[in-house]
A and B are shown apart, each in its own frame.
Chain A
C-alpha cells in the first residue's frame, strides 16, 4: 500500500472519520447533540461535492492513479464509482434534512441515528468502489446491518419492530445466497479480484458451477433491489420503518444494490445478448413491473403504495440489465439518479405531514391538501407526475433511456410491457393528485407547522427532478462517458 492511496480514498475516509467524530461528540459533550445533525449533513455534502468534482479529474497535485486500483487493487478511483459516491452522499444528505425534525416529531431523537446513517453510507460507498468480491460483501453487510437497526429505530412502535425483524431475517437469508454464489465464483475463477474473474469469463462460462455462482450472486442482489420474486419484504419494511429511514433505504440503498449488480455485470455482458441471464432479467423485469404496478392500485397506505411502486421501478431498471448493452447501463444509472430524487421528495413530503399518531399515512388523509397546504400539494403532484413518467420530469427520461436500450438490443416487447405497466401505474399515482385537488376534507384548516429543513429537502429534490427532466442531456453525457 502506498501512502497516496489514502488521499485517493478521501471520500471513504471523510465518512469513516465522521462516524468516529460523531461517536466521540455524542459521548463527551452533553450539548453536542444539537450540532450532530448539522455535522452529518455537512460531512455528506462535502463528500458529495468532492466525489462529483473528482469524477473526471484528479485533485490538484496528485499523480494519476494506476489502472490497478487502490489498496492492492481493492478499490477503484474516479469514474462510475465516484458518480455513485456522489449519489449516495447527496441523497443521504437530503435524507438527513428529512430526518432532523421528523425524529423530534416522533420523539425518538438519538444521535445513533446519524451514526448508523453514516455507517450505511460508508457501506454503500464500499460496494460501489470495490474491485473485489470480499469488499462487495463487507460493504453490503455494513449497509444492511445499519439498515436493520435503522428500520427498528422507533423501538416502542410495534410496526417498526416488525419491519426490523422481517428485514433482518430475510436479509440475512438473502446474504446466504450471495456468499454461496461468491464461493462458487471463487472456486471456479480461483480469485476474488473482479479483474481476474472478468479476464477468464469467456472460458468460465462453459463451467456450470461458475454460472450457478453468478446466478446465486444475482439472486442475493435481486433481493436487495426488491424485484419480483424476491420482493416480499419491501412493503412491510417500507411501511413499518420510520419515514425518514424508508426514504433512505428505498432510494440510495437500492442504488447501492444496483451498483453491485453493475460491477459483476461485465461478466454477464461478455456472454452476449441472448444468454441465460439476459432472459432471467427479462422475466424478473416483466414480473416486477406488472406485479408492482397492479398491487399498488389496491393499497390504502401511501408508504405501502410507494413500496409497490418501488418494486415496479426496480423492474424498469432491470430492463436495462436484460438489454445487455452500454446504453442500458447508462439508462440504469440515469434512472437511479432520477428515482432517488423523486422518492426522496415523495417520502420527504410524507415525513413533513406525518404526525406521531400516524396521520397522513393513509392516502385518504390527503383529501383536500390542495387548499390546506398548497405548496406541498403542488410538490407532491409534480413528484407523482414524475414517478409515473410524464414529461417533462426526470422520471420520463429515465424510462425513455431504458426503453430505448431495450429497443436497440431487439427486446422491443420488453419496452412495450414497460409502457403498458407505466400506463397502469398512472392510475395509482394520479389518485393521490385527484384526492388532493378534487376531494373535500373534513378538516379544512391550513397546515402551517412545517419543518424548515424538511422543506429544504423537498425543494432540493424537486429542483433536481425538474432540472433532470428539462435538461437530461448533460447528465446522460456524463454517465455515457464513464461506461
Chain B
C-alpha cells in the first residue's frame, strides 16, 4: 500500500529541491547592485502607502458571500449540463427534476438576498 505513494513522495522531493535551487541560484549567480529604488516593495509598480492591515469595508464580505452562492450553483449545474444526455438515457426524467428542485431551493435563497438589499452598495 505504501509503495503506491512513492510517486507522490518523489514529486514532493522534486518540488522542494527545485524551488530551493531556484531561490538560491539567483542570489548565488546573479549580479547584485542594489539601490534605493530597487529595494522598494513594488520596484516598477505603485508606491506603497499606509499599512497593510487596513480595515476593509464589511460590504466586501457580503459580496464574497454572494459570490460563493453563484460559485456553488455553477459547480453543480455545469457538470450536470455536460453529462445530461447520458444521465437522461440511464435514469430518465428524474435527472431533470432533481436539478429543478435544487435550483428552486437555491433561487429562493438568492431572491431573499436580493429582496433584503444584499446587492445594494449604499
Contact = CB atoms under 8 A, between A and B. Distances in A.
Interface of A: 1, 3, 16, 20, 23-24, 26-28
A24 B94 contact: no
**Interface SS majority for chain B:** helix
B62 to A, nearest CB: 15
Contacts, number: 17
A27 B94 contact: no
Contact of A1 (B94, B104, B109, B112): B94
B94 A23 contact: no
Contact of B115 (A1, A20, A27): A27
Nearest to B94: A1
Nearest to A115: B112
A27 B111 contact: yes
A3 B91 CA distance: 12
B52 interface: no
Contacts of A20: 104-105, 108
Interface string B92-116: 0010000000001100110110011
Contacts of A16: 105
Interface of B: 94, 104-105, 108-109, 111-112, 115-116
Contacts of A26: 112
B89 to A, nearest CB: 17
17 contacts: A1-B94, A3-B94, A16-B105, A20-B104, A20-B105, A20-B108, A23-B108, A23-B109, A23-B112, A24-B108, A24-B111, A26-B112, A27-B111, A27-B112, A27-B115, A27-B116, A28-B115
Q: Name the residue in B104, B108, B109 with the highest tally of chain A Cβ atoms < 10 Å from its Cβ.
A: B108
B97 to A, nearest CB: 10
A26 B114 CA distance: 13
A26 B115 CA distance: 10
A26 B108 CA distance: 11
A3 B115 CA distance: 34
B59 to A, nearest CB: 17
A1 B104 CA distance: 19
Nearest to B105: A20
Nearest to B97: A3
Contacts of A27: 111-112, 115-116
Contacts of B116: 27
A405 B84 CA distance: 55
B111 to A, nearest CB: 6
A256 to B, nearest CB: 22
Given A26-B112, A27-B116, A28-B115, 14 more contacts: A1-B94, A3-B94, A16-B105, A20-B104, A20-B105, A20-B108, A23-B108, A23-B109, A23-B112, A24-B108, A24-B111, A27-B111, A27-B112, A27-B115
Contacts of B115: 27-28
A24 B109 CA distance: 9
A3 B105 CA distance: 19
Nearest to A27: B115
A24 B94 CA distance: 26
A24 B105 CA distance: 11
A72 to B, nearest CB: 12
Contacts of A28: 115
Contacts of A23: 108-109, 112
A439 B116 CA distance: 50
Contacts of B108: 20, 23-24
B93 to A, nearest CB: 11
A1 B90 CA distance: 13
Contacts of B105: 16, 20
Contacts of B104: 20
A189 B1 CA distance: 16
Nearest to A20: B108
Nearest to B109: A23
A154 B116 CA distance: 19
Nearest to B115: A27
A28 B94 CA distance: 30
Q: Which 3 A-B pairs have the closest CB atoms?
A: A27-B115, A20-B108, A23-B112
B4 to A, nearest CB: 14
A19 to B, nearest CB: 9
A22 to B, nearest CB: 10
A154 B80 CA distance: 41
Nearest to B116: A27
Nearest to B111: A27
Contacts of B94: 1, 3
A462 to B, nearest CB: 38
A16 B102 CA distance: 12
Nearest to B91: A1
A1 B116 CA distance: 36
Contacts of B109: 23
B72 to A, nearest CB: 14
